[in-house]
A and B are shown apart, each in its own frame.
Chain A
C-alpha cells in the first residue's frame, strides 16, 4: 500500500521569509498524482498545489512551488514571502492514477511569526 510521510510535525517561519515543508511517499506505481492541501483553523481543506508524476516540470502557484523528485519519491512544498494567513496545517496527499484513492500524510503545522 502507498504511504505518505511528513517528517516535520511543526515548523515556524518569519513573515516574508521562505519555508520548505517535506513530504516523501512510498509507491510501486509509475503514474500518480501528488497534492498539497492546507487546513487553517477554520478546518476547511483547501488545495494549494498539485503535481502530475509524468510531468518533470515542478508545479508553481504564485508563492507556492514544489520540488518533485520522482526517483527519490520526494515532494516538498516551498512557500515564499510567507504571510500570516499561511499559518495552517499542511497535508501532503498521494492519488493513484488507476484507482480513485487518496492517501494523506500526518500533516505539518506551520506557524508564521510577525
Chain B
C-alpha cells in the first residue's frame, strides 16, 4: 500500500507553461510538505500545511502555489515555468504534532524538467 503518492513521477515541459503536481497520503497525517531537491541533491523545504492551513512558506517565487483541498492532499501548482525550476520535487507527510518525534514519510518524487 502506497503511503505517500505523487503524480506524475516525471514531467517534461517547456518554459512558460503552467503545470501541477499532485500528492496524496493515506496515513491519516495532519501535516504535509513540499520539498525541492536540486541537481546537487540539496533538499529544501518549500511549503507545509497542517490541517489544510499553510504553516510554512519559505522564500519561494509567487509562481509556486500550493493547494490543500483536504488534509490528505497537497498539490503544487507552478505558473510560468523557468529553466531553474528543473528539480525533483518531493511531497512528504508527518503526524505533525508538537512535542513528538514523528518523522516524515516521503513520496517517490517528481522529476520536473523544463526545456
Contact = CB atoms under 8 A, between A and B. Distances in A.
Centre residue among A31, A37, A52, A100 by max chain B CB count within 10 A: A100
Interface of A: 31, 33, 35, 37, 39, 42-47, 50, 52, 89, 91, 95, 97-104, 106-107, 109
B104 to A, nearest CB: 6
B88 A43 contact: yes
B45 A102 contact: yes
Contact of B48 (A91, A97, A101, A106): A101
A31 to B, nearest CB: 8
Contacts of A43: 88, 108-109, 111
A97 B106 contact: no
Given A50-B101, A50-B103, A97-B99, A104 B44 contact: yes
B86 interface: no
Contacts of A99: 98
A101 B109 contact: no
Interface stretch (B12-20, B65-73, B75-83, B89-97): B89-97
Given A43-B88, A106-B41, A97 B109 contact: no
Contacts of B41: 39, 89, 106-107, 109
